[in-house]
Structures are given as C-alpha cells and as structure tokens.
Amino acid sequence: MGAFGFIGMGAILNTAILLAGCYFVLFVNRKVNEKVLKNFGYGVAGFLCLAALVMFISGIYVSLKSHERSPMMMQDMMRSQMQQPMQQPMMRR
C-alpha cells in the first residue's frame, strides 16, 4: 500500500472519530430540555454525520485510486528523466 493508501486509511479513521463525536452529541442532546439547545444539537450532529460521510467517501476514493496511479506515476517519472537531457540546448564549439 502506497502513501495514498495510508491517506485513505487516515480518512477512514477520522470518519470513526467524527461518528463517535456525533454519537455523544446525540446522547447529550437527549438529556437537554430546552428546545433551542435540542435543535442546535441536532444541527451539530447532522453536520458531523455529513462531514463523516464526505470523509469516508473521499477515503475510499483515495484508497482505490492509489493502486491505479502508482504505475502511471513511475512511468511519468521515467519519461521526464529521459527527456531532460534533450531539452537542454546544445553548445557549439
């Protein structure tokens, strides 16, 4: 697994942390009696769930795309190294 795979796994770990935070916000929200604070708690929980969903989808996307990009990146590096001497102007004596 390349560096991009580890980035994808890190995003999935952050998703778990956000969902745990969402759970605790909803848990505390159940104990609150004021309607304004309940609505605010539901808003915060919804935002955390949305952020967790975006993080999870991006983590999966990066993890899957990291396997496809690795060989292409190596080929691009080899091409650029081979083309560098040709791009330099020739010196005349």
Q: CA–CA distance from 46 to each of 7, 13, 27 (Å)?
A: 25, 19, 13
Q: CA–CA distance from 33 to each of 48, 54, 69, 75 (Å)?
A: 22, 31, 52, 62
pLDDT at position 14: 87
pLDDT tens digits for range 23-45: 999 999 999 999 999 999 999 99
- Among 35-39, 56-60, 78-82, which range has the highest average pLDDT? 35-39
Whether residue 87 has pLDDT greater than 60 = no
